[in-house]
Structure formats: C-alpha cells, structure tokens
Chain A
Amino acid sequence: MSATEREAAELHEKSRLPEKAELAKYYHQMLAIRRMEEALAKAYALRKFGGFLHLYIGQEAVAVGALATLKPEDYVIATYREHAHAYAKGMTAKSIIAELFGKATGCSQGLGGSMHLFDASKNFLGGYGIVGGHIPLAAGTAFASKYRGDGRVTLCFFGDGSVPQGAFHEGVALAALWRLPVVFICENNLYSMGTPLYRSLSVSDVSQKALAYGMARDRFDGEDVVRVRDRVAEAVRRARNESLPTLIEIRTYRFRGHSMSDAGLYRTKEEVEESKKRDPITFGRELLVRAKMDEKDIVAIEDQVTAEIEEAVKFADESPELAYERLAEFTYKE
C-alpha cells in the first residue's frame, strides 16, 4: 500500500460514524428498503405498474452490510433483485419507485423499469435481468480500475441461480487470472426461482467454486448486518490493497416469492415462518437496543422512514408519464 493509499484508508476510517450512529444508519437503510418494497408490492397489487417485481424482503442485511464497506467512487453491479443495492448505494426511494412506475422522473428516466435501476453519479452500474449475465462485466470494471490505478473496488452481487451459468464461470475466471479488485457476492437464498439449491447444484457450498480458480473465499449467514459488513470488509481490503478478487457466499432467505406471481408451492409455510425468526430488520433493531439507543430515537428513525417512503410514493404517483416522443431516445447516441 502506498503512502497516499494508506492516508486515504485512514481518512475513510475516520469518516465512519461512531458505532451507534453506524448501526442507526444501517437500521434506517434496511427498514427503508423493507418499507419501499412493501409499498411497491402494494402498488403492484393496485396495478399502478405491471410486468415483474422481485422483492428482496428478508435479505436486507446483505446489501446494507456489504455496501457499508465501500467508498462513493466504488462500483456496484447487481441482478434483477436490485432495489436494495440501489438504495444502499445512495439512490433515493423517489428515483427507484418512479422508475418502477415507469415515470420520466425515474433513475433511468422510465425507460428501464423493474430490473433496470442505474445511477452513474452513484456508480451504481445497474440491475441485470439475464441471470449471471452481468458477472463478466464486473471483471471489466475491475480491470478498468486496475488499468487506471485509481484504487476503486467493484462489488458484484448475484444469486445462487447464477452459479450454474457459464457467464459466472467466465467472469470469475477472468478476475482470478488477471488479479482484479472485485468482490463477488453470491446471495444464496436457497432457491433458483422454485428449484431448491440441491436440485440445481451438485455442490451446495457455492464458495468452493473459488478453489478451482485459486481465489480467496468466505461463507457465512447474512441476517446480521454487522457480520456482513465486517466479513465483506476483509474482501474489499484484499481487493483495494492487494488487487485480488474474493468469492463470498452469504446464506440468506427471501420471505416473499421469486416474483409477484409466485404461489410459493415449492416450500412449506413452516420453513418460511421459521426463516422469519432470523429477520435482519428485527436483528438490526436489537443491535440498536444493545447499543443503548433510546427507544424514542429508534421510533424516530422508524417514523422518518415511513415519511420518506410515503413521500417517495407520492412523488412517483404525481410524476409525469413518459412521453411517446421518447420511445426511441437512447437507442443510439443522437
């Protein structure tokens, strides 16, 4: 690590809030993501928008904990279940909800919709709807940051359903071969849509794929936001300081269906209820209680989140529809 890099790292450490304030920030983010998605589910049921909606509910600690390790200039690239990553990277609920509603005020100007959240100012490289298709792109961004020597790290999120895809293996292989500053995070929620892990992968320990590529790996449960942060931080340090990739498998669970049309017949109610005992939001609140935050301060966060999401929905509702004249815009640079 060069002297400048060390200084930058120290400065970053110092810029972190005291632990209680950090925990409050995580709780705010996780809760806002939960409430935002609940609002989206409600709006979907009211047919304010159609198409697809893939909720992240139950997995919030993963995105929030992992992204807490990053600097603003670092890159995040994610899947079609990316509302949480977008929000945790600093995008607003307003711009996210408006995009899903297909409004011109959305982060992608209403041209993307669900699965297509982008924000160049936040270095959020988007949602990707082709499972695993974005994984080689993460090798590309990481190559570019190494080429430029600007010390940025790429975090690439995907699910266990991506792992059998060729694109996963090609992207991971390139990152290992070229020693790139990227962290691959497999959010293993145990189901590829309706197919359980044991019927889609011969080896259920996804992190073992790293062994074949000579890559560092880690594997842990994802309901505790602080654990996620601290374990991902090790991989981010490895990427930033040693320019080496890591494959992390974070075991998690989505409480809702794969998408809104999922009747959930492939798993039992008992299994889903059991998983809810490890709700990352409940856990995040407990962390605040343990850190001796006053109940009224916790409630204040919750009220703040409620207002934030209500305002965002209102903003999206009242935003103008996408004009027909914009249909072809952005197919090519004009």
Chain B
Amino acid sequence: MAEMNLIQAVNDALRVEMRRDPRVVVLGEDVGRFGGVFQVTVGLREEFGADRCIDTPLAESGIVGAAIGMALYGLRPVAEIQFGDYIYPAYDQIVNELAKIRYRSGGEYAAPVVIRTPIGGGIKGGHYHSQSPEALFTHIPGLTVVCPSNPIDAKGLLASAIRGEDPVIFMEPKRYYHKSRADVPEGEYTIPIGEAKVVRSGSQVTILTWSAMVHTALEAAQKGEAEGLDLEVVDLRTLVPFDEAAILASVKKTGRVVIVHEAPRTSGFGAELAATIAEKAILHLEAPILRVTGFDTPFPYTLEHEYLPDADRILDAVGRVLSF
C-alpha cells in the first residue's frame, strides 16, 4: 500500500499496465513532456519513450480516430481528452466508429480503446472546464462508462478498462484529483467493472451517486447522522453496465431513494436509475424517488457552488422522502 491522490493512482495504473503490456500506449494533448494538464501522465514519456506516451496536436477527432486504428491493429491505446468538455469534437468517432465496430463487423474487429477524461465542476472552471457529460455516453450501446470517485477505485478500474476487450469512457472527478487520498495497493491491481460499492451502510434512505458527488453524499450522511439519520450511500463506480443487483438490494432494504448527480437533471443518468427502480422494485418503495442534480443550465461560472448539489440539498431531499 502507498498513499496516493487520484492523480497518482491513475498515473500508477498507467505505469503498471504499460510495464505489463507493451501494447499499451498513451496519447493526448500535452501528455508527454508536459506530463498532462493535471500531471496525470507525468514520467511516462521518460520511462516508456515518446512512441508510447505520445503528444498529439489539438485534434480530438484525430486523437480518438487514431486510437481506434491502433486498437484495430492490436494495440491498447489509452487516449486522454484534456477536459471532458473537449470530448465533443470526438463524439462522432466515439459514437459512430468506436462503439459500433465490433457489432457492425460481426465481431471481425474490436476497438479496445480507453478514453480518459477529467469531468465535473468545483474548480472555478466555468462553462468549458466543468461539464459532466457522462449521460451522453451511457446512451451509446457498445461503450462502457466508468466514473470512479477515489484513488483506489480509479487505479483498479482503469487497469480493468485497459485489460478489457471493449471501449471504455473513463471519467475522473477533477475536483478530487488532489483532495481524495487513500492507501492504494501497489503493483498490479484490478477492480471488476460493473460492481457498485456500498460506501456507507444505512437503513433509512439509499443515496445513489457516483464520481465527485460520492464525497458530497458522504458529507450529507455524516451531517445527517448528527441529526439521528441512518443513510446508505452507494457509489455506482460504473454507469454502463450499472450494478442493478446492488442497487435493488439497497432499495429493497431502505424503501427510499435519493439519486444525486452533478450533471443537469433532464435526461441525466439519474432518470435511468429511477426508471429501473420503478420497473423492478416499485412495490418496495415507501416514497417517490427524488433527484438532487445540477440545474438545466449551462455550467455556471460564478454560481457554481449554488449549481452543484451539496449536503444541505441532499438532506432536504432525504427529509422529503422520509416524511412522505
């Protein structure tokens, strides 16, 4: 074990996998000499050389397209998109080429590409450095969508993503790059994709969340404890495929659900979870499912802390499902 923050944990996963498998290459804007805008790829160019830690021009469609070609040829590319907000120029490549090639080729080819990108607000990034676009990828069959909240999960899930056979969108909560620290297993370490984790056990209300909001939900649960509340927090960790069994088990235990995400409410991934719970466990519910989310506005610069769900907004929803 070694204490690491999220940046160091992702770096460690990349390093371990690159040592393990010469097919793994990293590419993206400033990932080489600069070490990445958040220093996630620092030292990789020095250890593995410029042809395995590849600086690219500012061309997201080209980066993802080239990564797909590399994967078709048998490499295991890990592309970094510098901010989640910059992923849209590559959206066509991701949706039309990356996600579909195994299917439309009848399994002749597959593109096991990992696309890493930092998401979320809270760093005064404003409109173009704060978005949470995960739902846009959960709607695309063929993609796996992973959203870790902490260093341990980030390392283990990224290693699994790199070793997997399908393309993965791997979204990192940039607000917790430095703040989230933990003892992370050293060397080779994987966590299976598709498993949620109950990060706090409780009996009264299930809070379903992922990425940076896990920390906010835990803060709310702690605050609630002082008021005599017993809240369960489930970190989904993977959105596609999401851990239906774990979610339903928690819902059946508590009978009350609050879903928390940072992205705008409308068509956010919370809607999918609410629909699934309604379909599969409605008779276990004691109250309507509530969502605490970002607002349906562009991500605000000045008012970002009003936009982002916080412990009080979560506890307000908890109060409403408990008093229903």
- Which residues does A use to contact B, with CB under 8 Å? 75, 77, 106-112, 116, 118-120, 125-126, 128-130, 133-145, 147-148, 166-167, 170-171, 173-174, 177, 329-333
Say yes or no for B51: interface residue by CB 8 A criterion.
yes
Q: Which residues of A contact B166 (CB under 8 A)?
A: 332-333
Q: Is the CB of B105 within 8 A of A333?
A: no
A134 to B61, CA, bound (A): 10
Nearest CB in chain B: distance from A63 CB, A: 20
Q: List 18 A-B contacts (CB under 8 A).
A: A109-B107, A112-B106, A118-B109, A120-B108, A125-B109, A126-B105, A128-B97, A130-B97, A133-B96, A136-B69, A143-B69, A144-B69, A147-B75, A170-B57, A170-B65, A171-B62, A332-B142, A332-B166
Say which residue of B51, B93, B164 sits within 8 Å of A133 (CB atoms): B93
Q: Is the CB of A125 within 8 A of B97?
A: no
A148 to B101, CA, bound (A): 23
A107 and B65 in contact (CB under 8 A), knowing A133-B92, A137-B72, A174-B56?
no
Seed contacts A167-B61, A331-B142; 16 additional CB < 8 Å A-B pairs: A106-B106, A111-B105, A112-B104, A112-B105, A118-B108, A118-B109, A125-B109, A128-B97, A136-B61, A140-B67, A141-B72, A144-B72, A147-B75, A166-B89, A170-B59, A174-B56
A142 to B68, CA, bound (A): 11
Q: Is the CB of B97 within 8 A of A134?
A: yes
A118 to B105, CA, bound (A): 6
A140 to B92, CA, bound (A): 16
Say yes or no for B88: interface residue by CB 8 A criterion.
no
A171 to B51, CA, bound (A): 18
Q: Which residues of B contact A116 (CB under 8 A)?
A: 104-105
A333 to B92, CA, bound (A): 22
Q: Is the CB of B59 within 8 A of A130?
A: no
A312 to B109, CA, bound (A): 24
Interface size class of B (residues with CB under 8 A): 35 or more
Q: Is the CB of A144 within 8 A of B65?
A: no
A89 to B310, CA, bound (A): 59
A173 to B61, CA, bound (A): 12
Nearest CB in chain A: distance from B87 CB, A: 15
A112 to B59, CA, bound (A): 29
Q: Is the CB of B96 within 8 A of A130?
A: yes
Q: Which residues of B contact A110 (CB under 8 A)?
A: 106
Q: Which residues of A contact B44 (CB under 8 A)?
A: none
By beta carbon, the residue of chain B nearest A152 is: B73
Q: Is the CB of A107 within 8 A of B108?
A: yes
A234 to B247, CA, bound (A): 61
Nearest CB in chain B: distance from A156 CB, A: 10
A129 to B101, CA, bound (A): 12
A110 to B104, CA, bound (A): 9
Say which residue of A119, A128, A130, A166 sits within 8 Å of B108 (CB atoms): A119
A125 and B72 in contact (CB under 8 A), knowing A111-B104, A166-B61, A331-B142?
yes
Q: Is the CB of B102 within 8 A of A143?
A: no
Nearest CB in chain A: distance from B64 CB, A: 7
A136 and B108 in contact (CB under 8 A), knowing A174-B56, A332-B166?
no
Say which residue of B69, B107, B142, B144 sits within 8 Å of A137 (CB atoms): B69
By beta carbon, the residue of chain B nearest A145 is: B73
Q: Is the CB of A167 within 8 A of B65?
A: yes
